[in-house]
A and B are shown apart, each in its own frame.
Chain A
Amino acid sequence: MIKLKNNRADSKLISIWWFAVLFLIAGGIVAGTLLFYSRGIDVRALESNVLSDRVLNCLVKDGYIKQDFLENKTDIFKECGLSEKIINKSSSYYLSLSIIDLQTNKKEIGVSFGNMAFEKDCKISLSVLNAENYPKCSDKKVVIIDEDYRKLELNIVAGSNYQYRPE
């Protein structure tokens, strides 16, 4: 009789432990799920890619660079339909353009906009795979020609570190 009573008590103890373990596992799963979904979808790499594509498409037509840009007469924001306020003042974006003459190796143009701290950050994020808190950047190099048929290399670096903040 005593043995029987002990068995029943044991089985109750086991089920309490069973549920305690279950709740621990559930707590872990719930915490993991909440963490995963609260992180958000990272589109910074896509955004920097779109930004560099947009600048490239508006400055280069059929392999020819716009001469106004080479003569520093182009307002890149107006020309490419970019918001100067967002790119320059939000500190979430970076855009850099440089043109090198491939025959003389001389730098023809070098302009940068947005958050200048991203210049170094982009170099790190492009060379290191897991630079989670660094901006995501896109680096494009294109060989172009000007109206005098000079071979030039256009280098566009665009970076974005824009993440959602409640408005």
Chain B
Amino acid sequence: MIYSSKKANVSLLEKVIFIVLNMVFFLALIVFISRMSSGSSNIEEVYAKNIALSIDAMESGTQVNISVSEVYSAARKNKFSEFPIVIQDNVVTVKAIRGTGYGFRYFSNKNVSFQIDKSVEGQEVLSIKVD
């Protein structure tokens, strides 16, 4: 009788380990996919292309405001202290993590000036002006 109870315990332990391992496995998979979909490299690409296309579509003397709080919060999360958005030499570069960042070219030849309103943390706004 004692022998049988010991066997039942081992069998239960095996089952629990099996279930826990399965759960860990699926959790790791879900975490991987969600990190990929909301990852910094994805944010860099989306914002670089969004800003470059906005500049291309802008008429002279107009201004566009784009909320870039997602880029800033990704940079803060990655402990990246440099300026995450740079518009220079017809290239928009967005960096939310250490590395080269994502650069996207625009074909507009007009003078582009930009500034970032960081007065409220978590609500950063990029203002682009085309002369």
**Contact of A81 with B103 in the complex, beta carbons under 8 Å:** no
Determine the distance from Cα of A82 to Cα of B60 in the docked complex, in whole angstroms.
12
Q: Which of B14, B49, B59, B100 has a CB less than 8 Å from the CB of A43?
A: B49
With A81-B108, A167-B100 known as contacts, the answer to whether A22 contacts B22 (CB < 8 A) is yes
Question: In the assembled complex, how far is the CB of residue B68 from the closest CB belonging to chain A, in whole angstroms?
Answer: 17
A116 within 8 A of B: no
Q: Which of B22, B42, B105 has a CB less than 8 Å from the CB of A86?
A: B105
Q: Which of A11, A34, A81, A93 has a CB less than 8 Å from the CB of B60?
A: A81
Question: In the assembled complex, how far is the CB of residue B69 from the closest CB belonging to chain A, in whole angstroms?
Answer: 20
B82 within 8 A of A: no
| B-contacting residues, A29-59, CB 8 Å | 29-30, 33-34, 37, 40-41, 43, 46-47, 50-51, 53-54, 57
| B-contacting residues, A42-100, CB 8 Å | 43, 46-47, 50-51, 53-54, 57, 77, 81-84, 86-87, 90, 93
Question: In the assembled complex, how far is the CB of residue A129 from the closest CB belonging to chain B, in whole angstroms?
Answer: 23
Q: Which of A40, A50, A57 has a CB less than 8 Å from the CB of B45?
A: A40
Give per-residue flags for B21-62: 1 if the beta carbon is below 8 A from chain A beta carbons, else 0.
110010001001100110101100110010001001101100
B83 within 8 A of A: no
B63 within 8 A of A: no
Main secondary structure of the interface of A (DSSP, over half): helix
Question: In the assembled complex, how far is the CB of residue B42 from the closest CB belonging to chain A, in whole angstroms?
Answer: 6
B90 within 8 A of A: yes
**Contact of B53 with A47 in the complex, beta carbons under 8 Å:** yes
Contacts of B126 in A (CB 8 A): none
Contacts of B60 in A (CB 8 A): 81
B contact residues vs A (CB 8 Å cutoff): 14, 18, 21-22, 25, 29, 32-33, 36-37, 39, 41-42, 45-46, 49, 53, 56-57, 59-60, 90-91, 93, 100, 102-105, 107-110
Listed by A's residue number, 19 A-B pairs whose Cβ atoms lie within 8 Å are A22-B22, A33-B33, A33-B36, A37-B36, A37-B42, A41-B45, A41-B46, A50-B53, A50-B57, A54-B56, A57-B59, A81-B110, A83-B107, A84-B109, A86-B107, A87-B107, A164-B102, A164-B104, A167-B103
5 closest A-B pairs by CB = A83-B109, A81-B110, A167-B103, A86-B107, A50-B56
Q: A41-B46, A167-B91 are in contact. List 6 more A-B contacts (CB 8 A).
A: A47-B53, A82-B109, A86-B90, A87-B107, A90-B105, A166-B103
